[in-house]
């Protein structure tokens, strides 16, 4: 019974999954493309990503990392992507200042 419930509820969960993040990322890229008034064909040509790959990405969220980065570059969002992988601040030294011994 639990498997059946999961099957029907998996697309409506509030918990993020890799699949849901792929789909929402594809929608965001599509929206950025539209804001720039690029057709799919124009963005594909400017980025060097095949039109088929771009269409598949916007439909399914599936794309190679290299192609995704090429799209972000043309949409002026590559630096934002790079920023998400920066290490977080190490607050250990600051925390030690407030630790009573």
- Give the CATH number, domain containing residue 45: 1.10.260.40
In a domain, 1, yes or no: no
For residue 2, pLDDT beyond 80: no
In a domain, 28, yes or no: yes
Measure CA 90 to chain center: 26
In a domain, 80, yes or no: yes
What's 13-32 look like in SS3?
CCCCCHHHHHHHHHHHHHHH
What is the C-alpha separation between 26 and 39, in angstroms, rounded? 15
In a domain, 37, yes or no: yes
Q: How many Cβ atoms are within 10 Å of 36's Cβ, its own excluded?
A: 13
**Number of structural domains in the chain:** 1
In a domain, 99, yes or no: no
Two tokens at 12? 């409506």
41 Cβ neighbours under 8 A, 6+ residues apart? 51
**Domain span at residue 65?**
17-85
What is the C-alpha separation between 79 and 65, in angstroms, rounded? 15
For residue 69, pLDDT beyond 60: yes
In a domain, 24, yes or no: yes
Percent of the chain with pLDDT over 70: 74
Stretch 25-40: mean pLDDT: 97
Task: Give the residue from 70, 58, 62, 73 showing the smallest Cα distance to 27.
Answer: 58
């Amino acid at each position: 019974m639990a498997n059946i419930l999961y099957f029907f509820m998996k697309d409506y969960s509030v918990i993020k999954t890799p699949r849901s993040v792929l789909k929402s990322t594809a929608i965001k890229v599509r929206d950025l493309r539209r804001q720039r008034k690029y057709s799919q064909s124009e963005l594909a040509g400017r980025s060097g990503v095949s039109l088929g790959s771009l269409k598949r990405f916007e439909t399914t969220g599936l794309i190679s990392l290299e192609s995704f980065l090429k799209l972000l570059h043309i949409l002026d969002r590559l630096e934002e992507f790079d920023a998400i992988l920066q290490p977080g601040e190490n607050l250990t030294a600051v925390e030690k200042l407030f630790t009573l011994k």
